[in-house]
């Protein structure tokens, strides 16, 4: 996996270097003409944006984040700048977070994307806090058993199972209900599904 990522990064960087070997003005003009082939005013607007972003990207300090931006948008300096700023901000944010479980999940899911790490961390932390507050311990146990290492999925599973448990509790205690319970004694979602099938 690391070898493939290295090769993709190397090819992307070589491609970007070949692009940057042209004069910045030529390259930015090409981008503008490609985006607006029949609109000289918009070409001028895009050209100014691109040349400004190109100049910005030549001054940035974080080489790792710069590589991410170039890899994602090798032919668009404006998007490189946007991506660089987003990734830099997310990288700073991730350096301040404290919850080890949520950090581990975020890094595991997105090892090379700080923006997605931040998004995942925030989602996981919110779900972890939610799971710490839930009242039905039986349903919580189901969620923990199914997704021991993913708080977002625990929350989703808890909510689904809890709603299904309440639904099954409201149904008349007949042979159909008993059959569904017998078939899925530890899964309220499947009990509900089976009950609705049999009814």
Reduced to 3 states (helix: H, G, I; strand: E, B; else coil), residue 172 is coil
Residue in the block written with tokens 């009814």 = 199
Confidence check: pLDDT of 15 > 60: no
Structure tokens that stand for 59 in this block = 């001054």
pLDDT greater than 50 at residue 20: no
pLDDT bin (cut points 50, 70, 90) of residue 8 is low
Residue 22 confidence (pLDDT): 74
Helix, strand, coil percentages in the chain from 3-state DSSP, rounded to 5 = 80, 0, 20
pLDDT for position 12:
53
Under 8 Å between Cβ of 69 and 56: no
Vertex 74: Cα angle to 71 and 79 (nearest 5)? 95
Q: How far apart are CA 141 and CA 161, in angstroms?
A: 11
Q: Tell me the per-residue pLDDT of 140-195, one tens digit each, with 9 for 90 and over.
A: 999 999 999 999 999 999 999 999 999 999 999 999 999 999 999 999 999 999 99
Q: What is the C-alpha separation between 122 and 10, in angstroms, rounded?
A: 31
- Cα 8 to chain centroid, rounded: 20
Q: Of 11-20, 47-56, 123-132, which gets the smallest average pLDDT?
A: 11-20
Each residue of 57-88: pLDDT tens digit? 999 999 999 999 999 999 999 999 999 999 99
Distance CA 162, CA 171 (A): 15
List the structure tokens of 55: 């100049």
- Residue that the structure tokens 């992307």 belong to: 12
Q: Using one digit for the tens of pLDDT, what is the confidence trace for 100-112?
A: 999 999 999 999 9
Q: Is 167 exposed, middle or buried (0-12, 13-18, 19+ CB in 10 A)?
A: middle
The predicted pLDDT at position 195 comes to: 96
Residue 19 has pLDDT above 70, yes or no: no
């Amino acid at each position: 996996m690391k070898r493939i990522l290295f090769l993709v990064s190397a090819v992307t960087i070589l491609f970007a270097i070949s692009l940057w070997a042209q004069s910045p003005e030529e390259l930015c003009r090409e981008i503008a003409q490609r985006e607006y082939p029949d609109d000289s005013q918009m070409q001028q607007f895009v050209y100014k944006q691109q040349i400004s972003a190109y100049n910005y990207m030549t001054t940035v300090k974080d080489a790792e984040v710069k590589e991410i931006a170039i890899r994602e948008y090798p032919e668009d300096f404006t998007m490189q700048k946007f991506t660089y700023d987003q990734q830099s901000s997310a990288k700073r944010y991730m350096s301040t977070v404290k919850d080890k479980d949520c950090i581990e999940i975020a890094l595991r899911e997105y090892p090379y994307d700080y923006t997605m790490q931040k998004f995942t961390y925030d989602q996981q932390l919110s779900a972890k806090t939610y799971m710490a507050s839930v009242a039905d311990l039986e349903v919580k146990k189901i969620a923990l058993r199914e997704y021991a290492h993913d708080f977002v999925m625990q929350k989703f599973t808890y909510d689904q199972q809890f709603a299904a448990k309440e639904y099954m509790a409201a149904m008349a205690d007949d042979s159909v209900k008993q059959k569904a319970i017998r078939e899925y004694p530890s899964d309220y979602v499947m009990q509900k599904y089976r009950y609705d099938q049999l009814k």
